[in-house]
Chains A and B, each alone.
Chain A
Amino acid sequence: MKFPPFGYLRPTGLPEACEMLAEEGARPLGGGQSLLPLMALRLARPRTLVDLGALEELVGTSRSVSAGEEVLEIGAMTTLSAVEHDRTACSAVPLLSRIVRFIGHPAIRHRGTLGGSIAHADPAAELPAACIALDASASIASRRGSRSERVEALVTGPYQTSLREDELVTGLCFPIRPGRRTGVWEVAPRPGDFALAGAICVVYPEHSGPAGAAVTFFGVQAKPSRVTLDVEGAAGEGGGRYFQDLADSLEGVLEDGHADDRFRRRLAAVAARRAFAAARGCPPEVGA
């Protein structure tokens, strides 16, 4: 369980980091809470690690206006603990601090980063799903320039993203939507474990954005998926049946020793229903 040998670089600025990542076999190192265990198990053997730990510009939260919409920006190297306790983030997008508490234990959250979690794209991870549920976009940089991509498009499969070899996530941008309500529910073997199935529900206010509600599943399929809800059906008498039908319509449900197809669909249905109830029971976001 020792790390295989690798080259190590520690850039002090983003342009330098991009230069380093342009080299063959280089891989960015965020908090290391996902990558380092894989390396210890020798399931990952990067030739060079580019440690982003000294890039202060990738740490922190701020609010700004982007394309006419108020947004919360979070640097990719902001740790999960920092997100959990950040006042700006808590008030602008309250779901973030709530969902971060499902991830591992405090010691993992002290090191794990937001950008790392998105780039790792574990199908059972909470944050990629949260980004998708919240319509977040990732800012991406490389020597060739910078771009932005919706996280929904960025995550392409299990541990797969559309990121090129030389690219890194520099930050996440979350639209602030006053009136929105969110809920999350997950089933994990023990608190802090990866979810057997989880769901994030977003209920939109009627007067802004896409109407209605949507649920984003994680730990259910090869990547998080967002499904629009029929609020009346979901909230009605047969809500349980509605969510089970919804879960039964999902394709490519994962099977493993913790849950087979049938059980995972059931857990997904329960998680979605409970997340929906939590969202409806939670006060609308004020965005301030």
Chain B
Amino acid sequence: MQVGFELNGEHLDLDVEASVSLADLLHSRLAAASVHLGCEQGVCGACAVLVDEEAVRSCLMLAVQADGRRVTTAEGVARRRGGRWSEVEAALVGKGAFQCGFCTSGVVVALEELLAGDEPLTREDVVEQLSGQICRCTGYVPILDAFVSLLASTGRMREEGGR
């Protein structure tokens, strides 16, 4: 199958078997090392990528379904923001929000999706988004704290009453 899509800002035309997942295409054929396979069951979020502006599980998407779409992996997140480091990456690094690192690039993608919006967010919103990403090392706290601080510094944080 012919498939054409944009990966981290560059257009690609490829021939891909229909049964190949987007995750396998990205990791095994396109050297996007950030796309980790943690479960291939659509649960852990380690393979998260942005398709257009939405974070999706790339293990639950066929590569051919990316045809005509804009795919951004963690490698491309900083580039699309025009910097060497994205705000999310800098926030996570600043708080030491990882140990083994296997979940980290998926977390970056999921949080990048949240940051790219413009509506004010509560801590609960961040928890909801992050609850789709499994981390076995950190206990999530430093990740949450890092992102909430980032939101607060950009005036995007909204207090939730009663919680």
Contact = CB atoms under 8 A, between A and B. Distances in A.
Chain B binds chain A = yes
A53 B67 CA distance: 10
B154 interface: no
Interface of A: 1-8, 10, 29, 32-33, 36-37, 40-41, 49, 51, 53, 81, 104-108, 110-111, 190-192
B65 interface: yes
B57 to A, nearest CB: 5
B18 A107 contact: no
Nearest to A9: B18
Most buried by A among B39, B42, B59, B128: B42
B153 interface: no
Given A81-B54, A106-B55, A110-B56, A8 B41 contact: no
B110 A6 contact: no
A2 B19 contact: yes
Interface string B11-42: 00000011111001000000000000001111
A37 B42 contact: yes
B110 A191 contact: no
Contacts of A49: 18
Interface in B122-147: 128-129, 131-132
25 contacts: A1-B39, A2-B40, A3-B62, A5-B17, A7-B18, A8-B1, A10-B64, A32-B65, A33-B57, A36-B21, A36-B42, A36-B60, A36-B61, A37-B60, A41-B41, A51-B62, A104-B132, A106-B55, A106-B128, A108-B132, A110-B51, A111-B57, A111-B61, A190-B131, A191-B128
Given A37-B60, A53-B65, A111-B57, A191 B18 contact: no
Interface of B: 1, 17-21, 24, 39-42, 45, 48, 51, 54-57, 59-62, 64-65, 67, 110, 113, 128-129, 131-132
Contacts of B67: 10
Contacts of A105: 45, 128-129, 131-132
A111 B60 contact: yes
Nearest to A39: B19
Most buried by A among B24, B65, B67: B65
B19 A4 contact: yes
A1 B18 contact: no
B42 A106 contact: no
A32 B131 contact: no
A41 B39 CA distance: 11
A21 B81 CA distance: 43
A2 B60 contact: no
Nearest to A41: B41
Contacts of B132: 104-108, 192
